[in-house]
């Protein structure tokens, strides 16, 4: 009997340890997916059809540890729907992951794609496949700006 408290303690630590590394719940925002024709004149002249497909996913966890590349890539590899979409070799396939915020909560609650624009600042990363091949560097996005683009010097003018 004297081992029982020790056993309970071990069980507690094991459970706590598992919960720290448990996979976050990732939900497909399927009502925001779209498929566009992006053929240009050159494509049409050569009888080629170029399509762009966009998939959106919501990470239902507040911790930044939940959107590490390793976790998200493991999710992508294990998700049958995404794997089937990759096999279709669209000209461009993008998968966007959104973190939890008041705007993404409103999006999930209303299930209206109109709210997607309000969630631009909640994008954490975007993966892209061009004709079935994943781009070497995912687009990491912070506060709505793609990392590496924040120092672009803008030249403005307003039409009077």
Partner 1 sequence: MMRYLSRGILPCIENKLINKDGTPADDGKPETTQNIAGRSFSDPDLTAAVLSDDNFKGFAKNLLRRFNQELNAVGGDLVRLKPFTIGNPAFNSSKNNTDGLGITIHGVSYVEVHLLKYEPGLRKNYFVQLQVDLYDNFGLGAEDLVIDNYLTQWYKWWDSKAFQSWYLLQHKFNHVPLRTHVQLTIGSYLNLNTIYWKH
**Token pair 């781009």 in the structure block, residue:** 135
- CA–CA separation, 147 vs 142, rounded Å? 7
Q: Give the Å distances, CA to CA, from 52 to 60, 140, 141.
A: 26, 20, 20
In the range 36-95, which residues lie near partner 1 by CB under 8 A? 36, 38-43, 50, 52, 54, 91-92
Round to whole Å and give the CA distance between 1 and 143. 55
**Smallest distance, partner 1 to C-beta of residue 83, A:** 23
User: Measured from the CB of residue 14, what is the shortest distance to partner 1 in angstroms?
Assistant: 38
106 binds partner 1 (CB under 8 A): yes
For residue 80, give both structure tokens. 């049958």
DSSP assignment of 50-105 equals: -EEEEEEEEE----GGGG-HHHHHHHHHH-HHHHHHHHT--SEEEEEEE---HHHH
Site string for partner 1, 111-150 (x = CB under 8 A): -x-xxxxx-xx--------x------------xxxx-xxx
Q: How far is the CB of 38 from partner 1 (least distance, A)?
A: 5
Q: Could you tell me which stretch among 9-17, 64-72, 82-90, 105-113 binds partner 1 (CB under 8 A)? A: 105-113
Positions in the binding site for partner 1 (CB under 8 A): 34, 36, 38-43, 50, 52, 54, 91-92, 102-103, 105-106, 109-110, 112, 114-118, 120-121, 130, 143-146, 148-160
């Amino acid at each position: 009997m004297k081992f029982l408290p020790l056993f309970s303690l071990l069980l507690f630590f094991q459970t706590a340890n598992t919960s720290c590394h448990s996979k976050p719940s990732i939900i497909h925002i399927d009502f925001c997916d779209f498929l566009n024709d992006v053929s240009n004149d050159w494509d049409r002249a050569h009888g080629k059809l170029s399509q762009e497909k966009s998939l959106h996913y919501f990470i239902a966890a507040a911790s930044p540890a939940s959107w590490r590349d390793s976790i998200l890539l493991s999710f992508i590899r294990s998700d049958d729907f995404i794997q089937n979409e990759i096999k279709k070799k669209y000209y461009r396939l993008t998968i966007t992951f959104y973190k939890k915020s008041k705007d993404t909560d409103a999006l999930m609650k209303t299930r209206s794609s109109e709210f997607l624009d309000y969630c631009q600042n909640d994008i954490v990363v975007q993966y892209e496949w061009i004709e079935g091949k994943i781009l070497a560097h995912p687009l990491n996005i912070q506060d709505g700006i793609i990392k590496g683009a924040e120092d672009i010097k803008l030249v403005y003018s307003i039409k009077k």
